[in-house]
Amino acid sequence: MDIAALKRDLDGLKIEDNEKIVQQKSRDFYWYSPVLKRQLDTVSGDLIVSPKNEAEVVRVLAACHRHGVPVTPRGTGTGNYGQAMPLSGGVVLSLADMNEVTSISPGRVVCGPGAIIADIDKATRAHSGQELRLHPSTYNTASIGGFIAGGSGGVGSINFGGLRDFGNVLRLRVVTMEAEPRVLDLTGEDLHKVTHAYGTNGIITEVEMPLTASYDWVDVIVGFDSFMGAARYGNALGCQDGLLTKLITPIAAPVPQNYFKRHQRFFRPGQSICLVMVAPHSLDAFLAFTRREGGEVVFNTAAMTDEEKKGLPPAFELAWNHTTLRALRVDPSITYLQSLYPFPNQLALVEEMDAMFPGEVFSHLEFVRFDGNITCFGLPLVKFTTEERLEEIIRLFQDNGCPIFNPHRYTLEEGGMKQTDQVQLAFKREADPHGLLNPGKMIAWENPEYDYRSGRTYLFKGLEKVG
Q: How confident is the model at residue 14 (pLDDT cuts 50, 70, 90)?
A: very high
In percent, the amount of the chain with pLDDT more than 90 equals 90
pTM listed for this prediction: 0.96
| Helix or strand (DSSP H, E) at 445 | helix 443-446
Q: Would you say residue 465 has pLDDT above 80? A: no
pLDDT in tens, 407-434: 999 998 888 677 787 888 899 999 999 9
Q: Would you say residue 311 has pLDDT above 80? A: yes
Parallel, antiparallel, or unpaired: how do β-strands 203-213 and 130-132 relate?
Answer: antiparallel
Question: Which position has the higher pLDDT, 461 or 301?
Answer: 301
Parallel, antiparallel, or unpaired: how do β-strands 373-378 and 365-370 relate?
Answer: antiparallel
pLDDT in tens, 108-150: 999 999 999 999 999 999 999 999 999 999 999 999 999 999 9
Rounded Cα distance between 416 and 198, Å, is 9
Averaged confidence pLDDT in the chain = 95
In percent, the amount of the chain with pLDDT more than 70 equals 98
Q: Would you say residue 371 has pLDDT above 60? A: yes
- Residue range 295-323: average pLDDT? 97
Q: Would you say residue 224 has pLDDT above 70? A: yes
Q: How confident is the model at residue 464 (pLDDT cuts 50, 70, 90)?
A: confident
The three-state secondary structure class of 267 is coil
Q: What is the pLDDT of residue 452?
A: 64
Kindly report the backbone phi and psi dihedral angles of residue 149, in degrees, each rounded to the nearest multiple of 5, phi listed first: -80, -25
Q: Would you say residue 467 has pLDDT above 60? A: no
First-to-last C-alpha distance (Å) of the chain: 37
pLDDT in tens, 24-58: 999 999 999 999 999 999 999 999 999 999 999 99
Rounded Cα distance between 435 and 70, Å, is 8
Q: What is the pLDDT of residue 444?
A: 87
pLDDT in tens, 328-356: 999 999 999 999 999 999 999 999 999 99
- Residue range 394-414: average pLDDT? 94
Planar angle of CA 52, 55, 59, nearest 5 degrees:
100
Q: What is the pLDDT of residue 454?
A: 63
Give the chain's domains with CATH numbers. Answer: 3-94 (3.30.43.10), 101-214 (3.30.465.10), 218-405 (3.40.462.40)
Kindly report the backbone phi and psi dihedral angles of residue 415, in degrees, each rounded to the nearest multiple of 5, phi listed first: -90, -70
Q: Would you say residue 242 has pLDDT above 80? A: yes
Rounded Cα distance between 422 and 444, Å, is 9
| Count of other CB atoms within 10 angstroms of residue 97 | 14
| Helix or strand (DSSP H, E) at 133 | none
> Which of 224-233, 237-246, 421-430 has the weakest average pLDDT?
421-430
The three-state secondary structure class of 58 is helix
Q: How confident is the model at residue 1 (pLDDT cuts 50, 70, 90)?
A: confident
pLDDT in tens, 209-220: 999 999 999 999
Rounded Cα distance between 175 and 194, Å, is 11
Find residue 366's DSSP bridge partners: 377
Q: Would you say residue 456 has pLDDT above 80? A: no
Question: Which position has the higher pLDDT, 252 or 414?
Answer: 252
